Amino acid sequence: MANHKHDHNAQETIQEMLRAMSNHGWRITDQRKSLATLFAEAEGYLSPKDVYEHMRQRYPGVSFDTVYRNLRLLSEMGVLEQFHLSDGLKFRARCLSHHHHHMICIQCEKTVTFEFCPMKQVPNLPSDFQILNHRFEIFGYCSECASQAAHP
């Protein structure tokens, strides 16, 4: 799994995720705490199947559909972000610590962060539009994956 290095710690991420869940009326169950912990401690992107395999070990009764539905709902809440990478749909905890953007290799999922925010450079935005947030992500191949593709 690729690294996505950040200076925030897992405990803070867990607390932020649980706060967002309870703000949306979710009861904080052990199962939801495990889900938040899994994402806060994950070093990369998790597929619905990765999450299901992990949850099933601790909660044998959990169904894939429940796990998948929770992942979609958590994305809608802004707790998780979803990405379409080369081996399918994957999720990652949203970076809430400070504002930054990502460059993501769709092959090995290496993620590089950068602090430059392109929003500040966007010209002529309609002034009557109240902006809440924005996303900006760059997808492609890292140098290692690009050279593997060129010389298979």
Residues that bind Zn ion (CB under 5 A): 95, 105, 107-108, 110, 117, 119, 142, 145
Amino acid letter at 124? Answer: N
For residue 66, the minimal CB distance to Zn ion (Å) is: 27
For residue 64, the minimal CB distance to Zn ion (Å) is: 28
- The residue (of 36 and 142) whose beta carbon lies closer to Zn ion is 142
Rounded Cα–Cα distance for residues 81 and 74 (Å): 8
- The residue (of 1 and 119) whose beta carbon lies closer to Zn ion is 119
Rounded Cα–Cα distance for residues 36 and 27 (Å): 13
Judging by beta carbons within 10 Å of its beta carbon (0-12, 13-18, 19+), is residue 68 exposed, middle or buried?
middle
For residue 56, the minimal CB distance to Zn ion (Å) is: 28
For residue 83, the minimal CB distance to Zn ion (Å) is: 12
Rounded Cα–Cα distance for residues 146 and 140 (Å): 9
> How far is Cα of residue 94 from the mean position of the Cα atoms in its chain?
5
Sequence-distant (6+) residues with CB within 8 A of 121 are none
For residue 59, the minimal CB distance to Zn ion (Å) is: 29
Rounded Cα–Cα distance for residues 47 and 22 (Å): 24
